[in-house]
Structure 1
Amino acid sequence: MFEIRVICDPADTDRVSRALAAAFDTNPARKYPTRDGKRARLYVTADHRPEPGPWPTSEEAYALARSIVREIGWTAQTVADKPFGVDLDREYWLRKAALLDRIALREDEDGVTGDAAEMATEAARRLIAYDRDGAGDYHGAPYWPEHPATDADPRGYVRQEYAHWARSQ
């Protein structure tokens, strides 16, 4: 465990605290004014995050998943029901990415060559971007959206998040 001290503009304290929490396992920041009163001092007790374990396997992630046909129907119906200009929510992006991942896995099993893996990876990146922007309520254990392993294996991130989502439904 170690202590981090940051001196910053008071308007940046929340952003700095979030960045430190993303990089380390932190306790809440203690905030004090600097001697001149123009800046803020943040003191954060932190520790290195434990080494994450492996991504969930596709069998673990999709054990509770509905059939691919039902998910295609749900995805299409969700888009059709949204009024023009209304953003789709995280559940849509998660389920779409998981659906495309499952289709790509099926193609691999059947020895079919197509673009499903590329589409699944792009959908996974869209979910990750959604979560990074703070719009999503991601699970993030063991890998959070900013983790380097997430960039290296976007579909693994989808499986992690889908497994958590499915268990909580």
Structure 2
Amino acid sequence: MFEIRVICDDTDADRIRRALNTAFQTYGRVNKVRTHDGKRVRLYVGADHLPTAWPTPEKAYSTAPSIVSEIGWTCARARTYARGTEVGREYWLRKAALLDRIALTDAYSDGDPSEAAVEAAHQLLGIDENGDYPGGPHWVELGPDSSVSIADPRGYVRQEYAIWAGTHR
């Protein structure tokens, strides 16, 4: 475990906090303290490296249909959802995986595709925390309520997609 200290403009603090929570397993909350001159802030947080137990994107999505095909599938289910019919966990899993794959196509993306992928991953985490979580090879350590899954929700999606794809393809 180690401590991270970042000095930044106050306007960047939330974005940096989110990035730290994604890049590391953080402990406790991020403490924010004004610098002596009052112009910037210092962020402090305890952290550790994320475990490498998540499947790589290549492995998780090796049998996935094309992105175009998944867009079509997701849009068809979204229309059902818009009419008030429950779409279920498979929809949220495949949507989160689709958005993760789209975000991965732009290695330097930290904007909309990545944010949408994280948002969809949080939706899946919420469903799995409150519902029928099927488990997986690491479910005790890396279940939906683990700090690792919360810190890296896209890794959680890859784990769950790989498990799902193994039984649905």
Tell me the residue number matched to 2:134: 138
Q: Secondary structure at the match of 2:106?
A: helix
Kindly report which structure 2 residues correspond to 1:44-59, keeping only aligned pairs within 5 A, or say none. Answer: 54-59=53-58
Mapping of residues 77-156 of structure 1, within 5 Å: 77-82=76-81, 84-108=83-107, 111=108, 114-134=111-131, 136-142=132-138, 143-156=142-155
User: What percent identity do the matched residue pairs reach?
Assistant: 51
Aligned residue number for residue 24 of structure 2: none
Aligned counterpart, 1:16: none
Does the CA-based 8 Å contact 1:82-1:88 persist in structure 2?
A: yes
Do the aligned residues in 2 keep the contact of 1:103 with 1:116 (CA within 8 Å)? yes
- Deviates further, 79-88 or 95-104: 79-88
State the shift of 1:89 in Å.
0.3
User: What's the offset of the Cα at 1:54?
Assistant: 1.2
Work out which structure has the larger RCO, using CA pairs closer than 8 Å and 6 or more positions apart in sequence.
2
The answer on 1:161 being equivalent to 2:160 is: yes
Q: How many residue pairs align between the two structures?
A: 115
Higher mean C-alpha deviation, range 113-122 or range 95-104: 113-122
Secondary structure class of the residue paired with 1:55: coil
**One-letter code aligned to 2:117:** A
User: TM-score, normalised on structure 1?
Assistant: 0.63
1:45-94 deviations in Å (ceiling 9; x for gaps): xxxxxxx7611000010001000000000000112234722222000000
For residues 125 and 145 of structure 2, the distance between their equivalents in structure 1, rounded to whole angstroms, comes to 8
Q: Which runs of 4+ in 1 moved over 4 A?
A: none
Distance apart, 1:146 and its partner CA: 1.2
Q: Check the 8 A contact 2:54/2:155 in 1, yes or no.
A: yes
Quote the Cα distance in structure 2 between the aligned partners of 1:113 and 1:124.
16
Contact 1:107 1:114 in 2 (8 A): no
In structure 2, how many angstroms separate the alpha carbons of the residues matched to 1:107 and 1:54? 23
Deviations 1:67-124 (A, max 9, x none): 000000000011223472222200000000000000000011xx45641001100100
* Structure 1 contact 75–92 (Cα < 8 Å) conserved: yes
Cα separation, 2, equivalents of 1:67 and 1:91: 17
Stretches of structure 1 lacking an aligned partner (at least 5 in a row): 1-51
What is the DSSP-based 3-state SS (H/G/I as helix, E as strand, rest coil) of the residue aligned with 1:107?
A: coil
- Contact 1:56–1:160, Cα closer than 8 Å, also in 2: yes
Correspondence for 2:5: none
Aligned-residue offset at 1:140:
3.8
Change over 3 Å in CA distance of 1:151–1:86 after alignment to 2: same
